[in-house]
């Protein structure tokens, strides 16, 4: 899969994308990442990419011409590439969206800066707008890294196990079950005995119940869209009943 990142600060991507899983995915050729400096598409000697907004107001706005030229330059090589603008006004980024975008072969990620881009960029060139949360960053570069990382996990061969992505939090709208490793006991806290039993059926059952319990306690909003089996609905009712008894209610 290929990502073209349109940015004013390409050096921000040089170190993070060389590390860990992403670094190995790039080395294997599973993921291709190219940064495109929007300043290279200006026509003046000072490489001006922003200007004051019409109608007045605070801050500066990214000019339409250099951004348009940058997008058109990338799309001239692959007209079918999907162009995404990273902005607080976009649709919330989540696991389902990451999975859907992973089916694309080429994504163009536009990183906004200042007060954003000239509205005509949105109208003429953007296919989707994405936000990674209800807060404002100084630019879209960090958001682009988050999006690339989350999408890349769905590309076959990127993770050590093909099942890893399926067992992550938010798969089927549930949080992941608790994980343990050695030592068996640490400061009075032990590992649940079932995980040492070697009984894979019992372990699977425990993990499903704990995923439901954790989701109920931490993100109950996710359960509204979770596709639960009848057995899982029974587990959830059992958890609710047990918790209400332990509260003395």
Catalytic center residues: 88, 115, 153, 168
Say which residues have a Cβ less than 8 Å from residue 167's Cβ, sequence separation at least 6: 176
Residue corresponding to tokens 């990451």: 98
Secondary structure of residue 157 in the 3-state scheme = coil
Residue corresponding to tokens 């001006």: 48
Cα(52)–Cα(49) distance, integer angstroms:
11
SS percent in the chain: helix, strand, coil, step 5: 45, 20, 40
Q: Which residues pair with 227 in a beta bridge?
A: none
Say which residues have a Cβ less than 8 Å from residue 142's Cβ, sequence separation at least 6: 12
């Amino acid at each position: 899969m290929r990502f073209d990142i349109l940015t004013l600060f390409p050096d921000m991507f040089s170190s993070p994308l060389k590390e860990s899983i992403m670094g190995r995915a790039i080395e294997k050729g599973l993921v291709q990442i190219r940064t495109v400096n929007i300043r290279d598409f200006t026509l003046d000697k000072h490489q001006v990419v922003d200007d004051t907004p019409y109608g007045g107001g605070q801050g500066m706005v990214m000019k339409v011409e250099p951004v348009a030229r940058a997008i058109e330059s990338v799309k001239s090589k692959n007209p079918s590439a999907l162009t995404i603008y990273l902005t607080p006004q976009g649709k919330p980024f989540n696991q389902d969206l990451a999975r859907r975008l992973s089916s694309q072969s080429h994504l163009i990620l536009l990183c906004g800066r200042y007060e954003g881009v000239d509205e005509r960029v949105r109208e003429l060139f953007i296919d989707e707008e994405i936000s990674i949360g209800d807060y404002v960053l100084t630019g879209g570069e960090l958001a682009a890294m988050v999006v690339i990382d989350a999408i890349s996990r769905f590309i076959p061969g990127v993770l050590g196990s093909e099942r890893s992505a399926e067992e992550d939090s938010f798969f089927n709208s549930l949080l992941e079950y608790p994980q343990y490793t050695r030592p068996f006991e640490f400061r009075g806290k032990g590992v649940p005995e079932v995980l040492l039993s070697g009984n894979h059926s019992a372990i699977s059952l425990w993990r499903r119940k704990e995923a439901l319990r954790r989701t109920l306690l931490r993100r109950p909003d996710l359960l509204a869209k979770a596709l639960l089996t009848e057995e899982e609905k029974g587990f959830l009712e059992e958890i609710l009943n047990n918790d209400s008894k332990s509260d003395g209610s």
